[in-house]
């Protein structure tokens, strides 16, 4: 029995709210249960140096947590003067995941930065970030389309969403919350496209190594969960 | 005529929402119009080194802005590796303002850190921060009171709130929003207690110097505005 | 009775010595009693990026203290790898104060940096810095005038000087020295122009809040003191 | 056909040389073809703060590249003042991989740091690092065993080694070198134990997403390759 | 002919002024011509960690230049966030030079930090720093002696002073000023004791290598110059 | 008797191995006994800003130690976020030494960076670095000559090599290893050209000052030792 009483293949309540920022070209407040992440997409008419005159644009991401997003207050990274290894890992993952579904040539020589700021954390902040960042990015491209800059559907090749799975008390379960994550023997994050292609898979044995069969079981859960997340994205974007 | 159509002595719509963080001992989402700041109060059972064995506690504050809280995306301070001078000024001001109404001996050897994170900015982020931080701090002390650690009313000697005033197109006005702030000739921030005592006053002439009469006019506006803010705090804390 | 036996409205002995640096375009060693600050103005034929091709120049300031300027040696900021919040606050204040009396268009596309380095501290280092920095800046402009670059009196619109006041043992007093500053209940810094306009006012209650009447009393002291400081500046610059 | 003429399931020539450092308690120079990594294990009689009086030890890792290990000289991280996100990701991966086969209680309250410094790079530096780090760690534990501090076989629960696989020109291949890595559509790193358990799997689609069948094919290659690497470790440690 | 018209073996006018800081336990403003360095010695009742319970004290030094000590303003090291390699070299040299004449056991478990801050530079700042730092250190020890903490003559084993020599237009000359230093082919700094022992010698060929005969000639000049500097120290300390 | 049984004027076994890096334009693994330094020379078609359009090139150097090159593991400089004063001193010395024998105009507007990374340390890492860096630089120039970019013999005006000498138990000895270095009263590093000119001399009294006669004795040892090192360089480069 999971602490949250969920079924093994059951997501937490998912909410995707668009247009939450007055300033950003695209934004989404994503909630996976008690994990809340504010995603904003910012457009700039410039590209990193190595892309100048390439005709290609760039999509990048940054990640942060408010100091008291967690059960114990964490040191503010701006005050300690550097981003942790964990922060850097996550923001690199979010950025790669988004670029996997973007046609950088169709974007043109522009840069979109998606900021994912965790307002409240209860496990799964990186997967919520990816799932919400896609919505913010999509809305940013829609904003650009209304100004004749791009065709959104030319730039976005597919949906992308992410979920974590893990082996909790010997059983594979979907969408770990913090109490499960702390206790899970194995923890894996999956990033899949709307058509089910694998963009990124990261599995880690916290204690005992896991087997190929277990990996297979986690993968199946992920496919189910991401299917639901993509459906959430679609209905939210159509609203 | 102000861009927002407000009267010269009219605050923006004010909202103070308590209990918005699942984890923090006290929290408040404060809105001054389109300026939204999340304030969380975190209790720790330790004090800075210079207070060890003094019998006194400490209250401090940190301030940050999400990168796209503003009209143009700003560089993330955690990524640039240091907090700006502006950020440091504001967090020092918030902390001093709170300590002005706290009896540190009654708090005992504990530290409360109030984080003020600007989710969306439209001018007046520091005054909204102080006003909301007081509510978060009060709720943190109430949380402690339910656990028999302190008496809130012994620790909190008074209310404290803050507002900006400025001279916009030659006329003193209350509670500058961003369009007014950008254009104002003089900008002053006032921090007052519930009983009307002055905790902090910071007035700056952006262009032409201002006169004692103008300062007087701004002070009067501030007293009116802060009276209303304290009333908001009281009704919110009683709710 | 003040520790220094001064009258309540009496400045410490003030000294402004020009031309103390062999290299700087303008320089002034300012002494407010035992507080000694070396101010040097450095001219550069460039402006910050955001002013390029604007026709306008820029005036900025930096502030530092020698490690043993104080009663106890302080860590060298260059060694600790960052400037404190206090240092940043002060250098921003000095720069704003100078710009309040400078016509940046008349300066042309050039930058003047005024360095204020505290050789010895006994309270009031920021107000001494502003007062001395004005003299260094004025001499830098005179240096430029002799080379046909600007007219000093076109660039400088007025004098600017600063003083602190505070409530010491219940009585408003002028120009706090360190023993008074440490004990004062309220501390306020005033930056005024030669014509008496207010450029900046910063008042802080260290313990009890203060009243509008007290603010008024401090303001009057400040006006008297700054009148005397401007007279010092004038006689020094005419010498 | 692979650029190196290798079979699709063929490792580069592997070399593991022990005892290459005069000072370290354990050391190994590992070569995967032209990728050369020096691994040293350093024992300290202390643990991180959160493990004090826990009875448990700790194993950690650091990773670096000499500036000219690569085709183009890279900026020295010590000179630029921080470790890149990539460096931090890799050293966290190496450390987790080692800890997966270590009984931290059997180690006792001691810390072993394994430094992996890339002398020359040609792709696969993280997998070579893990494979060589295990040998250095094993020798460090042997060094401790000769001094009666631990039993190596109590501390080390299994072997651990790592390899990369990828889809190069549409074909799954084992142990990517740099030319393959640069061109590969999908790149996955596998960390397995001697008994074949999965410790860590990280797969990334650089361009097109990949399928579950492709992941399966990469996994099979990895199992073959890691089997050979573990055999190399064994024969090297027995020598 | 030297630019300053000095004889080849002639020092610039030397001035050593004691007691220039109100706060420091010992202080000296040293002038070698237009090179002015403020040296302050600060006593602390603590030692670095590696000397705890050793019965020995420590003497260290820090060095800095005011930004406009030089002909062109230099970036403030506190603002750029680190000390340059040159600064670190010099402060290490000053500290070693002082320790060469100090009996650290006679000092007892205390630390003296000598800060050398260059107010104005015209070549030879490191040699002036050493020469003045000795006076500040000596006065700090005298301050301690009056409080019964040490015997100055037990702690100080000898005098120490320093001078630069160089080959300017083919001729060995004593005490290079900035114009000579910029043009000199060879530049050497000598640190000698009062009894003529060599504490430190650093010679560098800027262009052509130099010969042993030239080194010999520079050494002779240094011995003459340092003899005079030590005489200055003695008469200053007796005053 | 020296700990290593060497004669007083006897170098440790010297080895210079060229072409040890697959990527660098020139490289050399230098061994002075158990001190091993990997030197790589990297060519870039750019120069520092102050040399643009000067027609001159630049040669610079960087220095680092692997964390466990030493008896006790040292903190990784990339992790601590800055290079130590010692590191900076050494890399500045290596760079000056190389430039002493390079005709920067004959090099043309290009930059060569020589990285000296200490794989294993046993005293004398800076002198080994200089001696090996010369070989790497020479090979880089040979690489350029085969591409018609320069004439090596036009760019390199002479050989350069370095050795340490010291007074160990009262006796001047050549090429200190770590046990001698730790115990030596005086330690001097000499950098000489192939024709015997002095490029750099740095002598330090660790305890008692040394005399001119002792300096003379150390110089003689250095000349003998460097003569042998230059012979090693020549035979290595001819091989």
Q: What pLDDT digit, counting tens, does each position of D205-214 carry?
A: 987 899 999 9
Question: C201, C210, C211, C218: which to substitute to probe chain B, counting the most B Cβ within 10 Å?
Answer: C201
So what's the pLDDT on residue F153?
Answer: 96
Predicted confidence pLDDT, tens digits, chain A (239 residues) = 899 999 999 999 999 999 999 999 999 999 999 999 999 999 999 999 999 999 999 999 999 999 999 999 999 999 988 899 999 999 999 999 999 999 999 999 999 999 999 999 999 999 999 999 999 999 999 999 999 999 999 999 999 999 999 999 999 999 999 999 999 889 999 999 999 999 999 999 987 899 999 999 999 999 999 999 999 999 999 98
Q: Does E198 sit within 8 Å of F210, measured CB to CB?
A: yes
DSSP code string of A120-149: E-SS-HHHHHHHHHHHHHHHHHHHHHHTTS
Using the Cβ of A60 and the Cβ atoms of chain B, whether some distance falls under 8 Å is answered with: no
CA atoms of C62 and E74, how far apart (whole Å): 12
Using the Cβ of A204 and the Cβ atoms of chain D, whether some distance falls under 8 Å is answered with: yes
CATH level 2 (architecture), domain C14-238 = 2-Layer Sandwich (3.30)
What does DSSP say about strands D160-168 and D58-65: parallel, antiparallel, or unpaired?
Answer: unpaired
So what's the pLDDT on residue A30?
Answer: 98
Using the Cβ of B203 and the Cβ atoms of chain C, whether some distance falls under 8 Å is answered with: yes
Using the Cβ of C212 and the Cβ atoms of chain E, whether some distance falls under 8 Å is answered with: no
Q: Which residues does chain A have within 8 Å of residue D195's beta carbon, measured at their own beta carbons?
A: 209
**What value does the mean pLDDT take over residues C203-213?**
91
Question: E204, E219, E220: which to substitute to probe chain F, counting the most F Cβ within 10 Å?
Answer: E204
Q: At residue F239, does pLDDT exceed 90?
A: no
Using the Cβ of C63 and the Cβ atoms of chain B, whether some distance falls under 8 Å is answered with: no
Chains contacting chain D through 3 or more C-beta pairs under 8 A: A, F
Q: What is the pLDDT of residues E174-204, one digit of tens each?
A: 999 999 999 988 999 999 999 999 999 999 9
Q: How is the beta sheet containing C111-120 ordered, strand by strand?
A: C14-18, C26-32, C35-44, C111-120, C58-65
Tokens found for residue B231: 């009333």
- CA B14 to chain centroid: 13
Spatial CA neighbour of D205 closest among F87, E203, A101: A101
Q: Does F62 sit within 8 Å of D23, measured CB to CB?
A: no
Contacts of E35 (CB under 8 A, 6+ apart): E12, E118, E120, E121, E122, E123, E124, E125, E128, E177
Interface of F with D in 22-41 (CB under 8 A): 22-24, 27, 34, 38, 40
Q: Does A215 sit within 8 Å of D198, measured CB to CB?
A: yes
Chains contacting chain F through 3 or more C-beta pairs under 8 A: D, E
So what's the pLDDT on residue E239?
Answer: 84
Q: At residue C206, does pLDDT exceed 90?
A: no
Q: Which residues does chain E have within 8 Å of residue C81's beta carbon, measured at their own beta carbons?
A: 81-82
Q: What is the pLDDT of residues B126-138, one digit of tens each?
A: 999 999 999 999 9
A81 vs B22, B76, B82: nearest CB? B82
Q: At residue E114, does pLDDT exceed 90?
A: yes
A73 vs B68, B82, B113: nearest CB? B113
Which chain A residue shows the shortest CA-CA distance from D82? A82
Q: Which residues does chain F have within 8 Å of residue E98's beta carbon, measured at their own beta carbons?
A: none
Q: Give the orientation angle of helix A85-99 with respect to helix A125-146, to 10 degrees.
A: 40
Question: B60, B73, B83, B115: which to substitute to probe chain A, counting the most A Cβ within 10 Å?
Answer: B73
Q: How far is CA E15 from CA A143, C214, E28, in A?
A: 71, 50, 10
- Give the minimum alpha-carbon distance from B95 to chain C in angstroms, rounded to a whole number: 12
Q: At residue F203, does pLDDT exceed 90?
A: yes
Question: How does F145-176 read in b/e, with b if 16+ C-beta sit within 10 Å?
Answer: eeeebbebeebbbbbbbbbbbbbbeeebbbbb
Query: How many contiguous H segments (helices) and E segments (strands) does chain C have?
Result: 7, 9
Question: How does E198-215 read in b/e, with b if 16+ C-beta sit within 10 Å?
Answer: bbbbbbbbbeebbeeebb
- Give the minimum alpha-carbon distance from A144 to chain B in angstroms, rounded to a whole number: 16
Q: At residue E12, does pLDDT exceed 90?
A: yes
Q: Does A85 sit within 8 Å of D85, measured CB to CB?
A: yes
Spatial CA neighbour of C150 closest among C206, C211, C106: C106
**What value does the mean pLDDT take over residues D82-110?**
96
A66 vs B38, B44, B79: nearest CB? B38
A81 vs B71, B76, B81: nearest CB? B81
Q: At residue D1, does pLDDT exceed 90?
A: no
CA atoms of A138 and A140, how far apart (whole Å): 5
ipTM of the prediction:
0.95
Average pLDDT for chain C: 96
Q: What is the pLDDT of residues A46-80, one digit of tens each?
A: 999 999 999 999 999 999 999 999 999 999 999 98
First to last CA, chain D: 36
So what's the pLDDT on residue E122?
Answer: 97
DSSP code string of B16-81: EEE---SSSSEEEEEEETTEEEEEEEEEES---GGGTTSS--EEEEEEEE-TTSSSSPPPPHHHHT
CA atoms of C91 and B85, how far apart (whole Å): 9
So what's the pLDDT on residue D206?
Answer: 81
So what's the pLDDT on residue F1?
Answer: 86
Using the Cβ of D8 and the Cβ atoms of chain A, whether some distance falls under 8 Å is answered with: no
Q: Does E42 sit within 8 Å of C115, measured CB to CB?
A: no
Q: What is the pLDDT of residues E19-54, one digit of tens each?
A: 999 999 999 999 999 999 999 999 999 999 999 999
Chains contacting chain E through 3 or more C-beta pairs under 8 A: C, F
So what's the pLDDT on residue E1?
Answer: 86
CA dihedral sign, ordered D198, D203, D209, D213 = negative
Q: How far is CA F77 from CA D63, D85, F82, F114, F167, in A?
A: 12, 16, 6, 18, 31
CA atoms of D119 and D121, how far apart (whole Å): 7
Q: What is the pLDDT of residues C115-125, one digit of tens each?
A: 999 999 999 99
Q: How is the beta sheet containing B14-18 ordered, strand by strand?
A: B14-18, B26-32, B35-44, B111-120, B58-65
Task: Kindly report the length of chain B.
Answer: 239
F81 vs D34, D81, D119: nearest CB? D81
Using the Cβ of D73 and the Cβ atoms of chain F, whether some distance falls under 8 Å is answered with: yes
Tokens found for residue D189: 């790193």
In DSSP terms, which residues pair with C189 in a beta bridge? C164, C202
Which chain F residue shows the shortest CA-CA distance from D68? F24
- Give the minimum alpha-carbon distance from D87 to chain A in angstroms, rounded to a whole number: 9
- Give the minimum alpha-carbon distance from C117 to chain E in angstroms, rounded to a whole number: 8
Write the DSSP symbol of residue C50. Answer: G
- Give the minimum alpha-carbon distance from B135 to chain A in angstroms, rounded to a whole number: 16
Q: Does A77 sit within 8 Å of B78, measured CB to CB?
A: yes
Chains contacting chain B through 3 or more C-beta pairs under 8 A: A, C
- Give the minimum alpha-carbon distance from B116 to chain A in angstroms, rounded to a whole number: 9
Q: At residue D132, does pLDDT exceed 90?
A: yes
In DSSP terms, which residues pair with E193 in a beta bridge? E160
E24 vs C23, C64, C68: nearest CB? C68
Average pLDDT for chain E: 96
Q: At residue C138, does pLDDT exceed 90?
A: yes
- Contact indicator for F210, F185 with CB cutoff of 8 Å: yes
Q: Is A124 annotated as a binding residue?
A: yes
Using the Cβ of A193 and the Cβ atoms of chain D, whether some distance falls under 8 Å is answered with: yes
Q: Is B124 annotated as a binding residue?
A: yes
Q: What is the pLDDT of residues E131-172, one digit of tens each?
A: 999 999 999 999 999 999 999 999 999 999 999 999 999 999
So what's the pLDDT on residue F205?
Answer: 93
Question: E82, E205, E213: which to substitute to probe chain F, counting the most F Cβ within 10 Å?
Answer: E205
- Contact indicator for C122, C177 with CB cutoff of 8 Å: yes
Contacts of A121 (CB under 8 A, 6+ apart): A35, A65, A69, A70, A178
Torsion angles phi and psi, residue C53, rounded to 5: 65, 20
- Contact indicator for E112, C15 with CB cutoff of 8 Å: no
Q: Does A23 sit within 8 Å of B120, measured CB to CB?
A: yes
**What value does the mean pLDDT take over residues B89-110?**
97
CA atoms of C65 and C42, how far apart (whole Å): 19
So what's the pLDDT on residue B119?
Answer: 98
Annotated binding residues of D, as ranges?
A: 86, 124-126
Spatial CA neighbour of C159 closest among C226, C106, C216, C107: C226
Annotated binding residues of E for phosphate, as ranges?
A: 86, 124-126
CA atoms of E184 and E195, how far apart (whole Å): 29
Q: At residue C81, does pLDDT exceed 90?
A: no
Establish how many alpha carbons lie within 13 A of residue A163's alpha carbon, considering only the half-sphere containing its beta carbon.
29
**What value does the mean pLDDT take over residues D171-178?**
97
So what's the pLDDT on residue C208?
Answer: 87
DSSP code string of B168-230: ETTEEEES--HHHHHH-SEEEEEEEETT--EEEEEEEESSS-B-HHHHHHHHHHHHHHHHHHH
Q: At residue C221, does pLDDT exceed 90?
A: yes
Residue C148 backbone zone (phi > 0: left; psi -120 to 50: alpha; other: beta)? left
Q: Does D83 sit within 8 Å of F82, measured CB to CB?
A: no
Q: Which residues does chain F have within 8 Å of residue D62's beta carbon, measured at their own beta carbons?
A: 67, 76, 79
Spatial CA neighbour of F161 closest among F113, F215, F231, F221: F231
Q: What is the pLDDT of residues F6-65, one digit of tens each?
A: 999 999 999 999 999 999 999 999 999 999 999 999 999 999 999 999 999 999 999 999
Q: Which residues does chain D have within 8 Å of residue A50's beta carbon, measured at their own beta carbons?
A: none
CA atoms of F180 and F174, how far apart (whole Å): 10
Q: How far is CA A205 from CA A185, C20, C136, D200, in A?
A: 6, 68, 66, 6
- Contact indicator for B116, B36 with CB cutoff of 8 Å: no
Average pLDDT for chain B: 96
**What value does the mean pLDDT take over residues C62-66?**
98
Q: Does B202 sit within 8 Å of C209, measured CB to CB?
A: no
| Kind and range of the H or E run holding B125 | helix B125-146
- CA D100 to chain centroid: 12
Q: What is the pLDDT of residues B40-77, one digit of tens each?
A: 999 999 999 999 999 999 999 999 999 999 999 999 99
Spatial CA neighbour of E200 closest among E111, E108, E130, E153: E130
Please, what is the Cα angle at B39 between B37 and B44, to 5 degrees? 160
CA atoms of F66 and F116, how far apart (whole Å): 11
So what's the pLDDT on residue D208?
Answer: 87
Spatial CA neighbour of B155 closest among B139, B141, B173: B141
- Give the minimum alpha-carbon distance from D20 to chain A in angstroms, rounded to a whole number: 30
- Contact indicator for C187, C166 with CB cutoff of 8 Å: yes
Spatial CA neighbour of F19 closest among F7, F27, F10: F27
- Give the minimum alpha-carbon distance from A197 to chain D in angstroms, rounded to a whole number: 5
Q: Which residues does chain D have within 8 Å of residue A100's beta carbon, measured at their own beta carbons?
A: 205, 209
A82 vs D82, D201, D202: nearest CB? D82
Three-state SS annotation for C81-126: CCCCHHHHHHHHHHHHHHHCCECHHHHCCCEEEEEEEEEECCCCHH
Q: Does D122 sit within 8 Å of F22, measured CB to CB?
A: yes
């Amino acid at each position: 029995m999971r602490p949250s009483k969920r079924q093994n293949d059951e997501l937490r309540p998912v909410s995707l709210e668009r247009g939450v920022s007055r300033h950003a070209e695209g934004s989404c407040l994503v909630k996976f249960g008690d994990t809340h992440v504010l995603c904003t997409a910012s457009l700039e008419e410039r590209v990193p140096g190595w892309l100048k005159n390439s005709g290609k644009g760039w999509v990048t991401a940054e990640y942060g947590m408010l100091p008291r997003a967690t059960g114990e207050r964490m040191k503010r990274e701006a005050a300690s003067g550097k981003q942790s290894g964990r922060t850097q890992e996550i923001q690199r993952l979010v950025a790669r995941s988004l670029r996997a579904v973007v046609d950088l040539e169709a974007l043109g020589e522009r840069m979109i930065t998606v900021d994912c700021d965790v307002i409240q954390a209860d496990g799964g902040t990186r997967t919520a970030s990816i799932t919400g960042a896609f919505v913010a990015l999509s809305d940013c491209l829609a904003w650009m389309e209304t100004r004749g800059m791009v065709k959104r559907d030319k730039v976005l090749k597919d949906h992308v969403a992410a979920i974590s799975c893990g082996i909790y008390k010997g059983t594979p379960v979907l969408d770990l919350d913090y109490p499960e994550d702390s206790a899970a023997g194995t923890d894996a994050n999956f990033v899949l496209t709307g058509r089910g292609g694998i963009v990124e898979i990261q599995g880690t044995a916290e204690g005992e190594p896991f087997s190929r069969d277990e990996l297979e079981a986690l993968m199946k859960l992920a496919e189910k969960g991401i299917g639901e997340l993509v459906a959430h994205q679609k209905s939210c974007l159509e609203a």
